[in-house]
Amino acid sequence: MADDIYDLVIIGGGPAGYVGAIRAGQLGKKVAVIEMERAGGTCLNWGCIPTKALLKSAELYRTIQKADSYGLSVTGASFDFAKVVERSRGVAATMAKGVEFLFKKNKVDYFVGKGSVAVPGMVEITEGEHKGKFLRTKNILLCTGQKPRPLPGLPVDGTRVMTSREALAAKVAPKTMAIIGAGAIGVEFAYFFNAFGTKVTLIEMLPNILPIEDEEISKVLERSFAKQGIAVHTGTKSENIRVGAKSVKLDLVKDGAKIELEVDTVLVAIGITSALDGLTSAKVKLELDRGFVKVDNNYQTSTPGIYAAGDIQGPPWLAHVASFRAVQAVEGMFGVTKPKQVGIFPGCTYCQPQVASTGLTEKQAKEKKLDYKVGKFPFTAVGKAVAAGDTEGFVKVIADAKTGEIYGVHIIGNEATELIAEYGLAMNLEATVDEIHHSIHAHPTLSEALGEAALATMGQAIHI
């Protein structure tokens, strides 16, 4: 017998699950969320939020080190790595409490444990203090997200071999570290550990770090990392990894040449995989696509009444995209609106310099054989950036050569992740570069570079 009857039971309390639950609560629905660890899921507890807290500490420490350039004298600056990590854990805990408060505010029942779909319309809590409890429900939303993808044959021990999760709980910065994979996670941890004295080697199989970003942006970041002391190896495979008691040895192979690297720790950041273990009983079969749960335009799976949203669906694996998908799924299942699919969205990487983008890269524009033009504007020509001492990077706009329709925007530099929002809104509203530069940007601000880059597509930038 089921203990409770719900309009919606959500398995997973991350950016998809908790946001979907709150939206359903706002609609007056009876909702339950089952989360294995703590409200907020991986993003809030072991991903987005704590990593940004770590990166802020790294950025501040780096700023202190160059205090002389601001006319300031700072002596004896040092750090306590354990306290840096402790602060990030505290930030995550604060945010989790905030989500728990929102659950109460919106009358969402919250269970800590592992949920499994026993049969359509019935969810069992299979682990945790509520083990054995069944929830009967009209709708089920799967939001279990993802987990780090391990390297075959390389077990994670938290000391010699880490994923991002173990790195977030490290009490001591290793003297040397190899990071395998230079996507957003690998790049952010490379910046963080390097800032606190770790000799970092960043290894990427593909030709560029941040492989999904515009190639020009990736090259600039690679040069910046080299200046910061990070050894970057692109187009390079990691082979023959040997874990010893005191170090890890691995071979770096590029163009047939091989060099041996020995480090204290290896951080594996090669990607993610859907968290599907135990999500359904043998009686429930969900259709998968390349290991991700397949959904229709209403976010419904192959089993009626069971929906899925967030990273479990597949890329793009971004918290803000997961939240968008969950809201669309909830509003669709309850007849509020016709669900929308992900269209224009920002991608952000929070190292220094920051990287942010939306829309097509220049390579993609070429592959589509679009008639496009490019406008670039450097932060060296922006008064606010010069005054702040953060002139690295530029804004790059890709637009239709005739109409000025914006195809893509790519930013590298200070506060890039904040600046990208303007172009996201512009593209959603189908604005043109003409309308961007006709929007008056306050002076002095970094956002002036956005307007100037739009002007640059027509060769009319004023300050270069």
pLDDT digits (tens, 9 = 90+) for 277-332: 999 999 999 999 988 999 999 999 999 999 999 999 999 999 999 999 999 999 99
CB of 107 closer than 8 Å to CB of 32:
no
What is the separation of C-alpha 71 from the centre of its chain, rounded to a whole number of angstroms? 36
Instruction: Kindly tell me the burial class for residue 328, based on how many C-beta atoms sit within 10 Å of its own C-beta (0-12, 13-18, 19 or more).
Output: buried
Maximum CA extent, the chain: 72
Percent of the chain whose predicted confidence (pLDDT) is above 90: 92
Q: Could you tell me what percent of the chain has a pLDDT over 70? A: 99
Q: Please tell me the predicted confidence (pLDDT) of residue 4.
A: 64
Q: How confident is the model at residue 147 (pLDDT cuts 50, 70, 90)?
A: confident
Higher pLDDT, 390 or 272: 390
Q: List, for residues 325-347, the tens digit of each pLDDT value.
A: 999 999 999 999 999 999 999 99
161-270: CATH architecture? 3-Layer(bba) Sandwich (3.50)
pLDDT at 52 over 50: yes
Cα(117)–Cα(104) distance, integer angstroms:
24
Amino acid at 36: M
Average pLDDT, integer, range 379-403: 97
Cα of 77 vs its chain's centroid, Å = 31
Query: Is 443 one of the catalytic residues?
Result: yes
pLDDT band at 3; cut points 50, 70, 90: low
Domain ranges in the chain are 4-147+273-333, 161-270, 353-456
| Three-class SS state of 197 | coil
How high does pLDDT run on average in the chain?
95
What string of H, E and C letters represents the secondary structure of the chain? CCCEEEEEEEECCCCCHHHHHHHHHHCCCCEEEEECCCCCHHHHHHCHHHHHHHHHHHHHHHHHHCHHHHCCCCCCCCCCHHHHHHHHHHHHHHHHHHHHHHHHHCCEEEEECEEEEEECCEEEEEECCCCCCEEEEEEEEECCCEEECCCCCCCCCCCCEECHHHHCCCCCCCCEEEEECCCHHHHHHHHHHHHCCCEEEEECCCCCCCCCCCHHHHHHHHHHHHHHCCEEECCCEEEEEEECCCCEEEEEEECCEEEEEEECEEEECCCEEECCCCCECCCCCCCEECCEECCCCCCECCCCCEEECCHHHCCCCCHHHHHHHHHHHHHHHCCCCCCCCCCCCCEEECCCCEEEEEECCHHHHHHCCCCEEEEEEEHHHCHHHHHHCCCCEEEEEEEECCCCEEEEEEEEECCHHHHHHHHHHHHHCCCEHHHHHHCCCCCCCCCHHHHHHHHHCCCCCCCC
| Bond from prior residue into 353 cis (ω within 30 degrees of 0) | yes
How far is Cα 133 from Cα 110, in angstroms, rounded to an integer?
13
Residue whose structure tokens are 């550990």: 193
Helix, strand, coil % in the chain, rounded to nearest 5: 35, 30, 40
Per-residue model confidence as pLDDT tens digits over 162-177? 999 999 999 999 999 9
Tens-place pLDDT, residues 414-432? 999 999 999 999 999 999 9
The domain 353-456 is placed in CATH, from the list 1.10.1370.30, 3.30.390.30, 2.60.40.10, 3.40.50.1100, at 3.30.390.30
Mean pLDDT of 219-225: 98
Contact indicator for 374, 413 with CB cutoff of 8 Å: no
Q: What angle do CA 70, 76, 79 make, to 5 degrees?
A: 95
Looking at the predicted structure, is the pLDDT value of residue 1 above 50?
no
For residue 124, the model assigns a pLDDT of 96
* DSSP 8-state class, residue 150: P
Angle between helices 184-195 and 215-228 (to 10 degrees): 20
Structure confidence by residue, pLDDT tens digits, 183-203? 999 999 999 999 999 999 999
What does the alpha-carbon distance between residue 142 and residue 13 come to, in Å, rounded to a whole number? 10
Q: What's the CATH number for 4-147+273-333? A: 3.50.50.60
Range from 7-16, 245-254, 266-275, 358-367 carrying the lowest mean pLDDT = 266-275
In this prediction, residue 42 carries a pLDDT of 79
pLDDT of residue 149: 85
Question: pLDDT tens for residues 102-124?
Answer: 999 999 999 999 999 999 999 99
Helices 81-105 and 48-65 pack at an angle, to 10 degrees, of 140
pLDDT for 271 equals 86
Is the CB of residue 280 less than 8 Å from the CB of residue 287? no
Model pTM score = 0.94
Query: Residue 209, Cβ neighbours under 10 Å: how many?
Result: 29
Q: Which amino acid, one-letter code, is at 6?
A: Y
* Rounded distance between C-alpha atoms, residue 267 and residue 286, angstroms: 33
Give me the pLDDT at residue 244, please.
96
CA distance 266 to 243: 9
Look up residue 432 and give its DSSP letter: B
Give 177's strand partners. Answer: 200, 265
Do the domains at 4-147+273-333 and 161-270 have one common CATH topology?
yes
**Residue among 410, 438, 443, 463 flagged as catalytic:** 443
Split at pLDDT 50, 70, 90, the class of 46 is: confident
